[in-house]
Amino acid sequence: MAIVVHHLNSSRSQRVLWLLEELEQPYEVIHYQRDSDTNLAPPELKNAHPLGKSPVIEDDGRVISESGAIIQYLCERHGGSDWLPRAGTDEYVSHLEWMQFGESSFFVPVMLKLFLARLGEAAAPVQPRIDEQLSAHIDFMESGIGDNLHFVGDGWTAADVLMSFPAEIALLQGYGEGHPKISRFVEKVHSRPAWQRARKKGGAYFVW
């Protein structure tokens, strides 16, 4: 049976479609559209997972959520071993760090910035601190991209897949200028035929 992806437009789940295209795995997409006023996921997504968030996949009787877990699972179970560094190496440790950073440390200031933006002037006292933290995390991301435009090693890894979304968010937040590696990394990702196929299947995706 094909893997089922519960996919929300303009969301983290675009990475899952990209990876599945790279792995040449058959999959079915169930589409969900954000509310045009609130930008929130529709309540129907809670039928796939109690938190009503995306991505969620179904595979072989399992329902799996959380982007990092899904990406790791797909690489381990569906022919993506080349996308994972060998355990016990320095690259493996670095890979673990980026897989965690992209879904934890980085998104704390991002989400705070998004939520506080709804408060208007009431958020003014804490906004500089949030902006400072977001800039620091984006600077750190820039410093972590190699001259070959990969986060780990000499080729594509699951860390590149996971970090593609934070890199895109950095550009959407206006941090492209002064962060050339992030800009070039996103361009490299988007030039992949697999990413372009996934974009067509996934539908609306921010400005791309």
User: Do both 175 and 78 map to the same domain?
Assistant: no
Contact between 74 and 16 (Cβ < 8 Å)? yes
Q: Cα(42)–Cα(111) distance, rounded to whole angstroms?
A: 19
Q: Is residue 182 part of a domain?
A: yes
From the list 33, 38, 35, 43, the residue with the least C-alpha distance to 13 is 33
The pLDDT tens digits for 100-114 are 999 999 999 999 998
Instruction: Identify the band that residue 1 occupies on the pLDDT scale cut at 50, 70 and 90.
Output: confident
* CATH number of the domain where residue 141 is located: 1.20.1050.10
- The pTM score is 0.95
- What is the separation of C-alpha 152 from the centre of its chain, rounded to a whole number of angstroms? 16
Q: Cα(205)–Cα(208) distance, rounded to whole angstroms?
A: 6
**Token digits of residue 23:** 């792995």
Domain that holds residue 42: 3-82+194-202
pLDDT value, residue 42: 97
User: Do both 130 and 104 map to the same domain?
Assistant: yes
Distances, alpha carbon 206 to alpha carbons 9, 12, 23, 92, in Å: 8, 11, 24, 32
pLDDT value, residue 123: 87
DSSP, res 188: H
* CATH number of the domain where residue 14 is located: 3.40.30.10
User: Do both 92 and 168 map to the same domain?
Assistant: yes
The pLDDT tens digits for 111-154 are 999 889 889 999 899 999 999 999 999 999 999 999 999 999 99
User: Do both 177 and 105 map to the same domain?
Assistant: yes
Asked whether the bond before 55 is cis by omega within 30 degrees of 0, the reply is yes
Domain count, the chain: 2
Name the region of 151 (left: φ>0; alpha: ψ -120 to 50; beta: rest): alpha
pLDDT value, residue 118: 86
Q: Is residue 89 part of a domain?
A: yes
User: Do both 49 and 25 map to the same domain?
Assistant: yes
Q: Is residue 208 part of a domain?
A: no
Position 184 pLDDT exceeds 80? yes
User: Do both 97 and 77 map to the same domain?
Assistant: no
The pLDDT tens digits for 41-100 are 999 999 999 999 999 999 999 999 999 999 999 999 999 999 999 999 999 999 999 999
